[in-house]
Structure formats: structure tokens, C-alpha cells
Amino acid sequence: MGRLKDAGLGAAIAAAVLMANAGLAQAMAAPRPVTQGEATWVNGGIGKTEAEAIRRMAPNWPLQVTFSERHQGRDEFVAGVKLRVTGKDGRTVVDVHDGGPLLLLKLPDGHYTIRAEYDGHVETQRVDVAAGRHDAVAFLWS
């Protein structure tokens, strides 16, 4: 009987350690936020675990930007995007040289232009950021 009790305790400890490690792995999978002036962002999403971590974070961020490319009839994530976000006054508020495939942004309320360059092709989109709102912007190259 004592052996069964010890085995049960050992299994419970092993399970607790595995769950703690799984939680730690999920926390480590999410890239850390970067702040530049009034802007903060999280960039990444390479690999399933990191992409899922960023997607879980997304509802808490005002703006989610996704970068993908049309390849053989499918949309595939891309990284290595040069990204510049400028305010209404033309001032650069975010400058990322290796963006994607997912980028979360916190910016002060206002009107912005997002310029994204991938493989020599430039796309731009305009966005309005407002408190309490979550918007998603997608860049798709073909």
C-alpha cells in the first residue's frame, strides 16, 4: 500500500512539473514588446507556438498587422518585411526592419500610414487608431 501511495505522489509531482514547464514554454513563446517613443509593438509569429501566443495577445492590442504572400494558390506567412508607420504629420513613429509575419501595435489615437516592403514590393495602408478598438490590417503580396 505504501508503494502505491508513493507512486501516486510521484505521478502527481511529475504532472505538476510538466504543467509548469508547459506554462513556461507558452510564456517564453511570446516575443517581448518593444517600445519606441509613444509606440509599442510585438513582432514575430514564426512557428506555430509563437504565432498562437501572438494571436492570444492580439485582442488586447489596438492594431494587428499580418504579412503574407500568395504562393501556389495559398496565402503563406512572410517575415523580413520592412515596416514604417508614420503619423498624420509625416513623422515616423515605428520603424521595423525585419517584421512579420505578425505584428501587434499600440499607438496613440490618430491617423497613420503603414508602409510595408517585402521582396522589393511596397504596399501602403491607412489606419485609424482609437481607444478601446481592435483593428486588423493584412498585407498580401502576390
Half-sphere exposure (Cβ direction) of 5: Cα atoms closer than 13 Å: 2
Q: Which domain holds residue 108?
A: 32-141
Assess whether 41 and 89 both reside in one domain: yes
At 11 the pLDDT is 53
φ, ψ (nearest 5 deg) of residue 47: 95, 150
107 and 48 in a common domain: yes
In a shared domain, residues 20 and 59:
no
Residue 122 pLDDT = 98
What is the chain's mean pLDDT, rounded?
A: 87
Predicted pLDDT of residue 8: 56
The answer on 70 and 25 residing in a single domain is no
Report the candidate in 64, 103, 61 with the shortest Cα–Cα distance to residue 81. Answer: 103
User: pLDDT-based confidence at 2, cuts 50/70/90?
Assistant: low
The whole-number pLDDT of residue 29 equals: 73
Residues 70 and 97 in one domain: yes
Query: Do 17 and 59 fall within a single domain?
Result: no
For residue 25, the model assigns a pLDDT of 45
Taking only the tens place, the pLDDT of each residue in 57-87 is: 999 999 999 999 999 999 999 999 999 999 9
46 in Cβ contact with 79 (< 8 Å): yes
Q: Are residues 55 and 122 in the same domain?
A: yes
What is the value of pTM for the model shown?
0.78
CATH (domain of 66): 2.60.40.10
Do both 72 and 19 map to the same domain? no
Q: Are the C-beta atoms of residues 37 and 93 closer than 8 Å to each other?
A: yes
- How many Cα atoms are found within 13 Å in the side-chain-facing hemisphere of 127? 25
| Per-residue pLDDT tens over the stretch 7-28 | 555 554 555 554 544 444 444 5
Q: What pLDDT is attached to residue 30? A: 80
* Number of domains within the chain: 2
Backbone angles phi, psi at 7, to 5 degrees: -65, -40
pLDDT at 123: 97
pLDDT at site 24: 43
Residues 87 and 136 in one domain: yes
